Amino acid sequence: MSKQIIYAVVSMLCLVLLGCSEAKKDPQNEFNYLTEAPIDLGVISNDAAAVAFLSGSLVTVSDINTTKIKNQFQLNKYKKVTGISLSQDNNLLLVGFENTLNVWDLKSSLLLGQFTVAGLSEFAKISKVAIYANPVLVLVGMTDGTLNLIDFENSLTKQAKLHEARISHLELGEHRQLIMTAGHDGQVKLSHIDSLKSKFSYTLPKRVTSAATGLKNETLFVSDALNEQLLLRPFSNTREPIKLVYHERFRWFRAAALSPSGDYLATGSSKYWWTLWDAKNGREIDAFAIESATSTAMILDMHFSKDNILTTLSSDGIVEFWDINTLASSLN
């Protein structure tokens, strides 16, 4: 069966079973192939200049624009990788395993250290990781809902039980004051970095499948495994959530990103397309098909630049660059 026929069958099934809107293909869209091997995990750097991804037991850091490989590290094939993260200056790579962390210096390609991390439960394992530089901070979410914060400059480790189940999303705000976490308990939280005490919390009926925070944490997007997809304004006088508006009975959201201006939301589905939303009212602008090499392609990570360029990374090892200003204006 040809690739085109497979795509047609998958699209038809989606339309029949879920009522999905037909995704458009942008003929002007630029894309780059990073690898021919499928990607298990992948993250886009803070400046969208680099990408780190895992294929089998090999983790690679590549330049997004040239696709040139900058670093490669062979991991123990018997150890399960639970997360990867690039520091915002692109100098550090963090790889999380079930109970240990590896940190590499990407300038020298040297392993800086290996660390063991535990939760409050003796059976807890690492579920989400994030690393930040200048000074170096490591955030580690655990399957029992515990958050570990490791401050290397001050030789401090803090721990708090923020969730009642697995932490699935983890991000530190731009001014390093608030940590956004979300988990399988359906909760999304903003917690102060010094005390790890919650400053904002919202609970959804089911486990969180995607979450994103805007600049200064002024907007949060969160979706669960049922049919709740909300834009929240944690510190606004108007705290009524904005629900995403679409025709289908439900949709599944795997990835999300908010534009720096707060005007747009991008979400990745469980299939080979993504959707652009008006973040001010939750209305769908349009859906776009990603470049794909297989019928199982899906978006692993999404990133907005200050110029409203959306970068997407797919499980097929393809990065794409979407000019949101052009797309939005062409649809008006």
Condensed to tens digits (0 to 9), the pLDDT of residues 91-144 reads: 999 999 999 999 999 999 999 999 999 999 999 999 999 999 999 999 999 999
CATH of domain 1-30+244-332: 2.130.10.10
Radius of gyration of the chain (CA): 19
pTM higher than 0.85 for the full model? yes
Beta bridge partners of 245: 283
Domain boundaries, the chain: 1-30+244-332, 34-161
CB 233 within 8 A of CB 219: yes
Contacts of 240 (CB under 8 A, 6+ apart): none
CATH of domain 34-161: 2.130.10.10
Topology agreement, domain 1-30+244-332 and domain 34-161? yes
Confidence of residue 190 (pLDDT cuts 50, 70, 90): very high
Average pLDDT over residues 44-73: 96
Strands (E), 279-329: 283-289, 299-304, 309-314, 318-323
For the chain, give the mean pLDDT: 90
Confidence of residue 8 (pLDDT cuts 50, 70, 90): very low
Rounded CA separation 146/305 (Å):
31
Rounded CA separation 124/146 (Å):
8
